[in-house]
Amino acid sequence: MFKRILLMILSLVLTMSLCACGLNQLFPGNHPSTGTDELIGDATSYRDFIAVMKEIKERGDKTAQLGLPVNSEYYYSFAGASVSALRYAVEYILWLKGEGDTRASFMADSRYTGWETIAEINYASPYPSYFEGLLLEVQGKYEECLEPYAWASVMPMFPEEGIDFYYLKKMDVASLYELRDELRDLEDTIYGAYTPVLTGAEWDRGLFDAEFLVARSYDCVQSGDYGAALRYAKNALKADPFNVTVWHSAAMCAMYALDLELMGEYVDEGLAIFPQDETLRMIRQSMIDAVSEMEAGQ
């Protein structure tokens, strides 16, 4: 019965969308964002950086209280990836200064280590790429540092005025330990409220862009790889939940992946942000109609 309901929803959605706008508009390759959420702040000072990340974490708390789990994940995951990136950089510099034995053993008590792991918490955060470039630069690897620096600089959440944390290399060991411990405490508050789901996937640096992710999800739907389509759609929501097209994509990918419950959650939360959006309202109505038809036919 579950699959029959999904098939009926698909049939209704396709029929309605073809009449209204065409299937391709449900998965556009490019679509302007309908809103922005400025979170960058002045992050050159680590004090300012910490203050901004605390504010972002608090936004996650507020949206969680409002029953908006996707939005709260956006805030929590962005703060988490950013704070973990700085903490990992500080620990790495401490190790370069001679602290600890092996790097792995020195960081064994930390929650997340490795740039790929930290980046997967939220690919939209520019800080894993930035601090990776910084660590290469402080080691004198000037050619290698250019690529991660360049990727960080083109990401939407990278501060327009730029940032410069090179001074971390010149900080004394005691101050670095104090900063590391403060960052660990902040990680505890973030990850106490939110636990990232990590796959260990290889880091594709282009995954910060919501439009790119929506386009990839559409390609996966076209090829019949619905699980991959949904993964791209979920990352798109973490990159920009203020773009209504991202919600269209997520709801449709959940449907193709046969996850009716998740589809309903995406539609409901999307409508909480975009209450007048015709596509989301159409999808919700199609779900209601499909269930009604199934109940009537029993």
Domain parsing of the chain, residue ranges:
2-33+209-297, 46-193
pLDDT score for 289: 77
pLDDT score for 6: 41
Confidence of residue 286 (pLDDT cuts 50, 70, 90): confident
Q: Is the dihedral of CA 166, 172, 173, 177 positive or negative?
A: negative
pLDDT tens sequence across 142-171: 999 999 999 999 999 998 888 999 999 999
- CA-nearest of 280, 155, 279 to 209 is 155
Confidence of residue 297 (pLDDT cuts 50, 70, 90): low
Average confidence (pLDDT) over 207-217: 95
Distance CA 104, CA 16 (A): 55
pLDDT tens sequence across 44-103: 789 999 999 999 999 999 999 999 999 999 999 999 999 999 999 999 999 999 998 999
pLDDT score for 45: 87
CATH T-level assignment (fold) for domain 2-33+209-297: 1.25.40
- Kindly report the average pLDDT of the chain as a whole number: 85
- Is the per-residue pLDDT at 203 higher than 80? yes
Distance CA 233, CA 185 (A): 31
Confidence of residue 237 (pLDDT cuts 50, 70, 90): very high
pLDDT score for 296: 65
pLDDT score for 242: 94
CB atoms < 10 A from the CB of 294, how many?
13
pLDDT score for 100: 87
